[in-house]
Structure 1
Amino acid sequence: MSSTRDVRDLEGRRIGVPESRQLDLFADMIERRGAQAVRCPLVDIRDTPDEAHVGRWLDEVIEHGLDDMIWLTGEGVRRLRSFAERDTPERLTRLVERLDQARAITRGPKPGRELRALKLRSDLAATQPTTAGVIEALADMDLTGHRVGVQLYGTDPNRPLMDFLADKQAEIHAVAPYIYADEAETPQVLDFIDTIVAGQLDAVAFTSSPQIKRLYKVARANERADALTPALNGLCVAAVGPLVGERLEAEGVQVTLMPDSNYFMKPLVRAMVAHFNAASS
């Protein structure tokens, strides 16, 4: 059983938390360990405004089924579930029945977890939780004429995956059930950037790529980018998974830590605890 000392193993640490979707949950995790969460929710996740397109996609899948379904995010599974059950529970039941008949390909552990909540399975996991990992997992498979559903996210058309499926002569049925929207006002983001540049944080924990995009968009628009990158490289930068890590590295930011395999918030917190314990020993 953990002692009080063990539980508060982030005592005195100030950790930047740009998470939005589960901000309170994540902040509570680190605060219970003694840290001070410095919050700046950079993005919000909302249903796509093109609800008609999602409705048509659901009708198409329910009516004709799929051979394969590619799930890129857990959020996508949740949003499509929500869209389906808004009309009647029967619509969700029919969708789940159709999805159960398709081979499910998952990019990472999060969509797999959300599928299990629907009593569905992941039949094929990406070799790594990236688009490249999905493509590699499907590279040797004959998809000619297959009806392939693809759950996209945000406004990213994911051209590499779409081009790969087109080259495989698959019949592509793509749907993007949610978008990213700016949440924090620009002055809040600037205050957050200034806090980082002033060296007032011990760590920043990034949990999605759009957070980094928004942070640097504001920094560049306000001539802070040149100061932001070296400031981040002077503290602990935590990334929840490889996609987030790649986006940080593209900005010249060195990732200090990342969970080994389970790309969720609890493993991210444990990785930060291990990092700071090692630093203080």
Structure 2
Amino acid sequence: MKKLAGKKIALLGSRKIEEISKLLQNQGGAAVSRPSQGTVLLKDEKLQHHVEMLTECRFDWIIFTTGIGVETIYQTALEMNRSDALISSLQKANIAARGYKTANMLKNHDIMPAVRDDDGSMAGLIRGLSTHSLKGTKVALQLHGDPAPHLKQWLEDNQAEYEEILPYTHIPPEEKVMNLLLSEILDGKLDSVFFTSTPQVRNLFSFARKKNAEEQLKTCFSDQTVALSVGKVTAQALHEEGIARVIFPEVERIGSAVIALTRFYAEEDI
């Protein structure tokens, strides 16, 4: 018998749903899509201005924190007929990258970061940057839905001047989707919930608090529904919300997370 036979897993992301569903189905599981992130791309004049600044080499360091951020900046440059100039500029720049998706996206454009995180987290990125002196430098800081207060504080403490670049932001997901997801968890209709980003964690627990159901949600994740995370960073966000039992792989990969879930059920013999 396949290890996820009879298991119903909610997918909270909005990307690669078919791919993830297929991986789960191959193990006998049934996936349902419950998008809980609400990503919106920002293709506005400010982003275009930042693309111009990047192509004109106005920064001493450029910090990329997400793969989709890299790609959105590139696509914006493409629409501005500045893509070649952007790539040429980035290939000469001091680049710091957080996360394997970010590094892979840069690699696709033949851009090699001078600094990488050691564990996919902002803290890991700071450890990498700590081997360099950024005093008096001008830094482009690409962010997303997370404000990254520790990274910004580190830059300030090291007397670096930074400019935030926001290629996209996170808006609240649809209320009807969150209502359905929360009720399914509380009613025991889901065996596992697959979190692939920290905004998904925040959105679910924020919604539960609004519905006065936070403690019930925590109990469900403790007693029945298995919280599955794509990696350490998202797992940490779940721990911070009071969820002790979180299944996640050592290496942040979708396929590795699915394997971790199958191992959990095999070991628990559930």
TM-score, normalisation: structure 2: 0.92
Distance 1:95 1:35 in 2: 43
CA contact (8 A) 1:190 1:219 kept: no
Matches within 5 A, 1:1-281: 8-48=2-42, 51-88=44-81, 91-154=82-145, 156-184=146-174, 186-234=175-223, 235-261=225-251, 263-280=252-269
- Percentage of matched positions with identical amino acids: 25
| C-alpha distance in 2 between matches for 1:255 and 1:198 | 19
SS in 2 for 1:254: coil
Cα offset for 1:97? Answer: 0.7
Query: Which amino acid counterpart does residue 197 of structure 1 have in structure 2?
Result: L
Superposed displacement of residue 128, structure 1: 2.6
Matched-pair contact (CA < 8 Å) for 1:21–1:45 = no
- CA contact 2:64–2:98 (8 Å) conserved in 1: yes
Asked whether the 8 Å contact 1:96–1:118 carries over to 2, the reply is yes
Give 5+ residue unaligned stretches, structure 2.
none
Secondary structure of the structure 2 residue equivalent to 1:150: strand
1:186-222 C-alpha deviation (Å, 9 max, x unpaired): 2332222121122222211111111111112221222
Distance 2:176 2:55 in 1: 46
Cα distance between partner residues in 2 of 1:254 and 1:161: 26
Shift of 1:228: 0.7
**Of 70-79 and 57-66, the range deviating more from structure 2:** 57-66
Answer yes or no: is the 8 Å Cα contact 1:66–1:98 preserved in 2.
Answer: no
Aligned residues: 269
SS in 1 for 2:139: strand
* Deviation at residue 65 of structure 1 after TM alignment: 4.3
Q: Please tell me the residue identity of whatever aligns with 2:29.
A: A
Structural RMSD (CA)? 1.9
Per the alignment, in what secondary structure is the counterpart of residue 134 of structure 1? helix
Per-residue deviation at 1:38? 2.6
d(CA) in 2 for partners of 1:199 and 1:275? Answer: 18
How far 1:25 sits from its partner (Å)?
A: 2.5
TM-score normalised by the chain length of structure 1? 0.88
Unaligned 5+ segments in structure 1 are none
1:264 is displaced (CA, Å) by: 2.2
